[in-house]
Amino acid sequence: MNARLPDTAMAPGQPSLQAVRLSKSFLSGHVRVQVLQGLSIALYPGELSLISGPSGCGKSTLLSLLSGLQSPDEGQAMALGEDLGRMSARALEHFRLRHTGFVFQGFNLFPALTALEQVQLPLGYMGFKRAETLRRAQRALDEVGLTQRSAMRPAELSGGERQRVAIARAMAKEPQLLFADEPTSALDAESGQRVIDILHRAARAHGTTVLCVSHDPRLVRHADRVLGMEDGVIRNDWRQNQVTPE
């Protein structure tokens, strides 16, 4: 019953995420609004890449296309060497379950579940035995500094703690790709800083490709790469150390 998953082994130096002349538009009333205009970028493992720009510039649309949540009007969205547009709906669902993690502004936690249960939930869908889901969930919560809060439900946690639970839930899957959409915008400075540090550590320690979209200026100095976006195109692209992957 399980759909066959594509081979995701990546050759060294190859991009793990790639937009190839992506275009996307939406209908607003009777007017079609062009959001992305032939955009091309390549993102690499072990980096936290930040797409920054004003609201409405197309940041979240680009993230949705590269994660397979939406389909482009034109062009290709490539992930781990696979063209997402060529996958069936079932294969795409399995690809996201196995290889991607998501962190959103709104946390998306279940009110009745404890922090530990929140993190275990997707692991069960992946087919892991309960003992393995428990081991992974405990390790992920420890990594985000929430071991002592694992029995708490969302209402008992601060906003920063809820976001860290969401990150632990994503990281427990050990994804190759981690997508974060405005992960700090609802948080105070201290909580936001902790979230940024955790995302950066995920890229460095686990070799994860972390793609973050945000207009939060605090993220800029922590990102390995910053892509400035405006009017559906990348206006500037720079790395903190200005070293291009071999």
> Is residue 82 included in any domain, yes or no?
no
d(CA 78, CA 17): 6
Residue 100, in any domain of the structure = yes
How far is it between the farthest Cα atoms of the chain?
54
Strand partners, 229: 234
pLDDT of residue 128: 95
In a domain, 83, yes or no: no
pLDDT in tens, 190-232: 888 888 889 998 899 889 999 999 888 878 888 899 999 998 9
Total of domains in the chain: 1
pLDDT for 109: 94
pLDDT at 185: 84
Mean pLDDT of all residues in the chain? 89
pLDDT of residue 87: 94
Question: What is the secondary structure of the chain as a DSSP string?
Answer: -PPPPPP----TT--SEEEEEEEEEEEETTEEEEEEEEEEEEE-TT-EEEEE--TTSSHHHHHHHHTTSS--SEEEEEETTEEGGGS-HHHHHHHHHHHEEEEETT----TTS-HHHHHHHHHHHTT--HHHHHHHHHHHHHHTT-GGGTT--GGGS-HHHHHHHHHHHHHTT--SEEEEESTTTTS-HHHHHHHHHHHHHHHHHH--EEEEEE--GGGGGG-SEEEEEETTEEEEEEESS-----
Evaluate whether residue 130 is within a structural domain. yes
In the predicted model, is pLDDT for residue 2 greater than 50?
no
Residue pLDDT, tens place only, 45-77: 999 999 998 888 899 999 999 999 999 999 999
Q: What is the CATH number of the domain that holds 222?
A: 3.40.50.300
Quick: pLDDT tens for 176-188: 999 999 988 888 8
CA dihedral 114, 219, 52, 106 (to 10 degrees): 20
Residue 39 lies in a domain: no
Tell me the per-residue pLDDT of 98-149, one tens digit each, with 9 for 90 and over. Answer: 999 999 888 889 999 999 999 999 999 999 999 999 999 999 999 999 999 9
pLDDT of res. 244: 45
Question: Are 146 and 164 within 8 A, CB to CB?
Answer: yes
Has residue 135 been placed in a domain? yes
Note the pLDDT of residue 215: 83
Position 222 scores a pLDDT of: 83
Q: For residue 221, is it within any domain?
A: yes
Whether 31 is in a domain gets the answer no
- Angle of CA points 207, 66, 54, to nearest 5°: 100
pLDDT value of residue 27? 87
> Which pLDDT does position 28 carry in this prediction?
84
Residue 29, pLDDT score: 83
Is the dihedral angle over the CA atoms 240, 63, 124, 119 positive or is it negative?
positive
Domain that holds residue 199: 44-71+88-239
- How far is the C-alpha of 8 from the C-alpha of 23, rounded, in Å? 25
With 60 as the cut, is the pLDDT of residue 1 above it? no
